[in-house]
Amino acid sequence: MERREWLIRTGITGTGLLLSKYLGAADRFWYMSAGDFAKADFGPGFKWGVTASSYQTEGAWNLDGKGESNWDYFSRIPGKIQNGENADVAADFYHRYSEDIDLIKAMNFQIFRFSVSWPRILPAGTGAVNNKGVDFYHRVIDKCLSVGIEPWITIYHWDMPQVLETQGGWANRKMIDWFSEYVDVLTKEYGSKVKNWIVMNEQLAFTGNGYMYGVFAPGRKSIGAFMKSVHHAVLCNAEGGRIIRKNVPGANIGFTLANTYVEPVDQKEKNIEAAARMDAIMNRLFLEPALGLGYPVDTVPILKKMRSLYEDGDEEKMKFDFDFIGIQYYYRTIAAKSIMPGMRAKEVMASDRGVPANTMGGEIYPEGLYQILKKFSQYKGIKNMIVTENGTCVPDKLENGQVHDKDRIEYFKNHLSAVLKAKKEGVNVNGYFVWSPTDNFEWDKGFSPRFGLVYIDFKTLERCIKDSGLWFKEFLNG
């Protein structure tokens, strides 16, 4: 979701176009009659899970030996986070992990995908391991296993030790060694209990927002730093895969992409080209190097500059034979030509088009998930796809201990019917994970956007399952 910031910060502002093409959209949605499907229609092997991340939920930012993260530091810079909020406490998952995993179980999910906080394991980024941090994730994993939930680990979901960020973070090629050490520690520690690993979550989000547009940690605004961070994230992603393959026999290894379905605002050549450029950055930039196809320089010529960053063997080291790709989809993007350098594409905002949108302004467009799955099924190198994040933020209201989030239920029904349509047409998609089990800290937006199936009162930290969580409990009870 956050990558839309990445687009808007390029001076990509909406145009005031009221596009008749979109005003009549409702009658086009084949899936609107959705909901007349059951869990069984997805097949017995289909994986149902929920996804969360360390910085957004754990809190305990400086407890039990944890080192300062880049987000602990960044969220304290005045003006960076909406309402001056930070995740020092967040959802307090660090202390309430058992209750939250019981809630995930109660909603009948079989998988819990969570990320590990690098500075909780290696406070100084490399070297000494913090045993109290290691023990915390053993408790989380053991709790999952004890209630019959399969733990999936995301190794990097954007929170790195600040001490490494001060040395350039992803823009420093030393990151390859730092990250490799971290992956080695984790996989040797948890590999006997955890077989499903995601090396990185949405490289575009942390490189684009973090090093180009300054809305994420570390808050840098440099195309040079962005390109270096992209290349090093590509190399680390593949190297991470190789380390897991070595350390965890029988591992199922993937990484996740920040996907959006991009369409041109109209059929003018300049806007069709702009949409292709935006699609290349949003959907191809990190996938194609991993598949051995290199960067999409055919569509975004400025990426040819990446060549200057290559060292011997990089071409080979950029690729890895991942077992699956995590598709993460929230909204559609409508693109038009922009005078902005580099991408030369801008987003035509949902608010300017009079179409349904979530509270962060992302257009709600379930057909886009179908289109992305169809698009990715064309890549021969993709062995399996899992929707590792899908969800929406709506204005939740707690009333008498209940949250009647019918719009979110509608969102899930329509996006699930999009997945089912693709699957029935032969697309190799074999899982769906909801973002997110509980409300949490939405990066630079703070706590305002609520994505959870479980409502959290951030004053009392009390939890209550929303109607959408109860809907999944019913739907998955098959």
Q: Catalytic site residues?
A: 202, 389
State which of residues 22, 46, 190, 435 lies at the interface with ligand GCO (CB under 6 A). 435
State which of residues 153, 155, 205, 403 lies at the interface with ligand GCO (CB under 6 A). 205
Q: Which is nearer to ligand GCO, 336 or 419 (CB)?
A: 419
Q: Where does 26-170 show beta strands of DSSP type E?
A: 47-51, 111-115, 150-156
Q: Which residues contact 307 (CB under 8 A, 6 or more apart)?
A: none
* Contact of 82 with 31, CB cutoff 8 Å: no
| Contact set for ligand GCO, span 278-337 (CB under 6 A) | 328
Residue 468 binds ligand GCO (CB under 6 A): no
In single-letter form, the type of residue at position 464 comes to: C
- Distance, in Å, from the CA atom of 308 to the CA atom of 304, rounded to the nearest integer, reads 8
Residue 432 binds ligand GCO (CB under 6 A): no
* Least distance in angstroms from the C-beta of 416 to ligand GCO: 17
Q: Which is nearer to ligand GCO, 5 or 189 (CB)?
A: 5
In single-letter form, the type of residue at position 316 comes to: E
Strands 429-435 and 385-389, sheet pairing: parallel
Which among 54, 51, 48, 140 has a CA at the least distance from the CA of 99? 140
Burial of 316 (C-beta count, 10 Å sphere; 0-12/13-18/19+) = exposed
Q: Which is nearer to ligand GCO, 130 or 358 (CB)?
A: 358
Q: Which is nearer to ligand GCO, 264 or 469 (CB)?
A: 469
- Distance, in Å, from the CA atom of 39 to the CA atom of 46, rounded to the nearest integer, reads 9
* Least distance in angstroms from the C-beta of 125 to ligand GCO: 22
* Least distance in angstroms from the C-beta of 327 to ligand GCO: 11
Q: Which is nearer to ligand GCO, 353 or 450 (CB)?
A: 450
State which of residues 54, 86, 117, 201 lies at the interface with ligand GCO (CB under 6 A). 201
Residue 171 binds ligand GCO (CB under 6 A): no
For residues 58, 64, 68, 72, the Cα torsion angle rounded to the nearest 10 degrees is 30
Q: Which is nearer to ligand GCO, 57 or 130 (CB)?
A: 57
Q: Which is nearer to ligand GCO, 320 or 443 (CB)?
A: 443
Residue 252: beta bridge partners? 196
- Distance, in Å, from the CA atom of 266 to the CA atom of 133, rounded to the nearest integer, reads 52
Vertex 454 angle, CA 114 and 204, to 5°: 40
* Least distance in angstroms from the C-beta of 210 to ligand GCO: 12
Q: Which listed range, 130-138, 143-151, 198-206, 455-463, lies at the site for ligand GCO (CB under 6 A)?
A: 198-206
DSSP H stretches of helix in 322-430: 367-376, 406-424
- Judged by CB under 6 A, the number of residues near ligand GCO is 13
| H or E segment and range at residue 314 | helix 314-317
* Least distance in angstroms from the C-beta of 279 to ligand GCO: 17
**Long-range pairs for 423-427: beta carbons < 8 A, 24 or more residues apart:** 423/42, 423/43, 425/374, 426/377, 427/373, 427/374, 427/377, 427/385
- Binding track over 362-401 against ligand GCO, x by CB under 6 A: ---------------------------x------------
Residue 199 binds ligand GCO (CB under 6 A): no
State which of residues 5, 202, 352, 410 lies at the interface with ligand GCO (CB under 6 A). 202
| Contact set for ligand GCO, span 206-265 (CB under 6 A) | 258
- Give the DSSP letter string of 36-70: ---GGGG-TT-EEEEE--HHHH---TT-TTPPPBH
Q: Which is nearer to ligand GCO, 2 or 100 (CB)?
A: 2
CB atoms within 10 A of CB 17: 16
Q: Which is nearer to ligand GCO, 317 or 450 (CB)?
A: 450
Question: Nearest to ligand GCO by Cβ — which residue?
Answer: 1
* Least distance in angstroms from the C-beta of 284 to ligand GCO: 17
State which of residues 34, 46, 53, 199 lies at the interface with ligand GCO (CB under 6 A). 53
Vertex 260 angle, CA 232 and 45, to 5°: 90
Q: Which residue has the tokens 């591992």?
A: 251
State which of residues 182, 211, 451, 475 lies at the interface with ligand GCO (CB under 6 A). 451
DSSP H stretches of helix in 210-284: 223-247, 269-279
* Least distance in angstroms from the C-beta of 335 to ligand GCO: 19
State which of residues 72, 363, 396, 442 lies at the interface with ligand GCO (CB under 6 A). 442
* Least distance in angstroms from the C-beta of 216 to ligand GCO: 10
Q: Which residues bind ligand GCO (CB under 6 A)?
A: 1-2, 53, 56, 201-202, 205, 258, 328, 389, 435, 442, 451
